[in-house]
């Protein structure tokens, strides 16, 4: 009988673990096939994997390299990779390479164990796993500045405030990192303040986001023209992933599912998620000197719009303020999430290269610090929707991720 010349992979899911049944050749031509399957499982939240290689007829150094790469990667993020069944060829090669014991031992993490049940709900083809945080009180919502002035570009030094973010404060709006209004006048753009970090996109056409993270006695601060701000702690955490055939979920459907579950009118959300394509805009010109940013045809040079879904499969850090019935305080800052949506909102997102987040109950502050210290900010967008009849590209989509939220209490 002729030996199988390709590699087939059958995946058996067992809760938060997966078994991969391998059949055929694990050589340079097919090692990448296994690598892609493992990457996809990890992206979907499966961190503990076991391989059945009893059907492998040949393994080369290229195949070993992929096994070692994924073994190290999974252990670094709190997962595991083991081989539970060896073919004679795989056993012989790994023993000669001194790796048989390494792959043959199952870590304690990979042992099947009884876990505390998570609260779950399914909506719009997506499954949500929910848990409560330590905080119980709503966050305090405040607003500063007048977003309507953005259209006329009429901001001046009198509108500028220096705001510090020592921690547990979240904000988005228009601002810049610098010493005063004059220092920032040509750089004001979209910003996000998340806990102990501030990041913004300068509107000077550099296209390179800048940021400050709390370090020692250095407290992040920004020159702010307008902003929505929330102080306090998140009360709930949701992990979301596809429940079947749906490959991504629209922003409005995602937030509608969450706010229905939270049973509140006003909500702040912080999300770390894999992008299925972002739709949004960003300033190319600072809103000063009474420039009409939305005047045609100048708008094409003064505001950047996504002409197709952007940053697909990248990791996003999104902050947003959502409301069913906006109050007089928040109303001027919010817009409909989609034409038929019952929600209004204002969301900014920072884009990073995709990376695997560590396994376990996520700490938003640790994740944020990890992103800024170990990765690179690629872009910042004010998320919008584009539902033009012919050329519209819809709204932002997300594949899976984590979302923290809290109800908001309006303050003066």
Q: How far is CA 80 from the centre of its chain?
A: 23
Are the C-beta atoms of 200 and 211 separated by less than 8 Å?
Answer: yes
Closest CA to 243 of 234, 233, 252, 253: 253
Given this model, what pLDDT does residue 224 score? 98
Same domain for 192 and 323, yes or no, is: yes
Same domain for 59 and 126, yes or no, is: no
DSSP characters over 120-147: EEEETTEEEEEEE-S--SPEEEEEES-T
Domain boundaries, position 273 = 119-410
Q: Which of 110, 130, 161 is the last residue of a domain?
A: 110
Same domain for 130 and 105, yes or no, is: no
Same domain for 100 and 134, yes or no, is: no
CATH number for the domain harbouring residue 64: 3.30.750.24
CA–CA dist 187, 207 (Å, integer): 11
Residue at 1 is within a domain: no
Residue at 364 is within a domain: yes
CA–CA dist 242, 261 (Å, integer): 17
Residue at 253 is within a domain: yes
Q: Which of 52, 83, 110 is the last residue of a domain?
A: 110
CA–CA dist 155, 175 (Å, integer): 11
Same domain for 93 and 180, yes or no, is: no
Residue at 69 is within a domain: yes
Count the residues in the chain.
Answer: 412
Same domain for 82 and 101, yes or no, is: yes
At 321, which helix (H) or strand (E)? strand 315-323
Q: Which two tokens stand for residue 348?
A: 């900014």
Burial track 190-228 (b if 16+ CB lie within 10 A, e otherwise): bbbbbbbbbbbbbbbeeeebbbbbbeeeeebbbbbbbbb
CA–CA dist 207, 254 (Å, integer): 29
Same domain for 351 and 370, yes or no, is: yes
Q: Which of 110, 132, 159 is the last residue of a domain?
A: 110
Please report which residue ranges of 174-265 form alpha helices under DSSP H. 181-184, 251-262
Are the C-beta atoms of 258 and 249 separated by less than 8 Å?
Answer: no
Residue at 2 is within a domain: no
Residue the block writes with tokens 């959502």: 322
CA–CA dist 369, 139 (Å, integer): 22
Same domain for 159 and 306, yes or no, is: yes
pLDDT tens digits, the chain, 412 residues: what are they? 456 789 999 999 887 799 999 999 999 999 999 999 999 898 877 889 999 999 999 999 999 999 999 999 999 888 999 999 999 999 999 999 999 989 987 655 444 444 445 688 888 888 898 887 766 899 999 999 999 998 877 899 999 999 999 999 999 999 999 999 999 999 999 999 998 999 999 999 888 999 999 999 999 999 999 999 999 999 999 989 887 666 899 999 999 999 999 999 999 999 999 999 999 999 999 999 877 777 777 787 888 899 999 999 999 999 999 999 999 999 999 999 999 899 999 999 999 999 888 776 688 999 999 999 989 999 999 999 998 877 889 999 999 999 999 999 987 5
Given this model, what pLDDT does residue 362 score? 81
Tell how many helices (H) and how many strands (E) occur in the chain.
9, 25
Same domain for 140 and 215, yes or no, is: yes
Same domain for 231 and 349, yes or no, is: yes
For residue 261, report the phi and psi dihedrals to the nearest 5 degrees.
-65, -35
Given this model, what pLDDT does residue 112 score? 47
SS3 112: coil
Q: In total, how many domains does the chain have?
A: 2
Same domain for 81 and 133, yes or no, is: no
Closest CA to 411 of 325, 330, 319, 310: 330
Residue at 321 is within a domain: yes
Same domain for 138 and 267, yes or no, is: yes
SS3 103: helix
């Amino acid at each position: 009988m002729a030996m199988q010349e390709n590699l087939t992979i059958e995946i058996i899911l067992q809760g938060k673990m997966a078994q991969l049944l391998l059949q055929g050749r694990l050589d340079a031509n097919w090692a990448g096939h296994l690598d892609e399957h493992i990457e996809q499982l990890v992206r979907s939240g499966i961190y503990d994997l076991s391989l059945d290689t009893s059907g492998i007829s040949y393994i080369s150094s290229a195949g070993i390299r992929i096994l070692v790469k994924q073994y190290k990667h999974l252990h670094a993020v709190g997962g595991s990779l083991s081989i539970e069944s060896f073919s004679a060829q795989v056993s012989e090669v790994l023993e000669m390479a001194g790796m048989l014991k390494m792959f043959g031992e199952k870590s304690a993490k990979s042992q099947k164990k009884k876990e505390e049940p998570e609260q779950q709900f399914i909506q719009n083809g997506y499954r949500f796993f929910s848990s409560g945080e330590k905080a119980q009180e709503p966050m305090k919502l405040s607003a500063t500045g007048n977003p309507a002035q953005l259209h006329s570009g009429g901001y001046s030094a009198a509108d500028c405030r220096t705001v510090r973010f020592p921690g547990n404060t979240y904000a988005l709006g228009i601002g810049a990192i610098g010493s005063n209004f004059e220092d920032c006048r040509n750089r004001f753009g979209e910003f996000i303040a998340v806990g102990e970090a501030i990041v913004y996109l300068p509107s000077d056409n550099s296209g390179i986001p800048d940021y400050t993270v709390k370090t020692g006695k250095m407290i992040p601060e920004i020159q702010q023209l307008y902003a929505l701000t929330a102080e306090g702690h998140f009360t709930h955490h949701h992990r979301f992933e596809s429940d079947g055939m749906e490959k991504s979920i629209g922003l409005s459907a995602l937030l509608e599912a969450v706010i229905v579950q939270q049973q509140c009118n006003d909500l702040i959300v912080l999300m770390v998620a894999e992008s299925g394509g972002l739709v949004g805009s960003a300033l190319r010109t600072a809103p000063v000197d009474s420039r009409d940013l939305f005047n045609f045809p100048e708008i094409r040079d003064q505001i950047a719009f996504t002409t197709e879904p952007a940053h697909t499969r990248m990791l996003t850090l999104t902050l947003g303020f959502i409301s069913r019935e906006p109050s007089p305080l928040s109303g001027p800052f919010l817009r409909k999430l989609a034409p038929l949506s019952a929600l209004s909102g204002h969301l900014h997102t920072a884009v990073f290269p995709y990376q695997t987040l560590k396994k376990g109950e996520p700490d938003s502050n640790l994740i944020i610090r990890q992103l800024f210290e170990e990765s690179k900010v690629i872009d910042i967008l004010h998320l919008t929707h584009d539902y033009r009849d012919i050329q519209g590209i819809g709204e932002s989509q997300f594949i899976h991720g984590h979302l923290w939220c809290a109800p908001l209490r309006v303050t003066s």
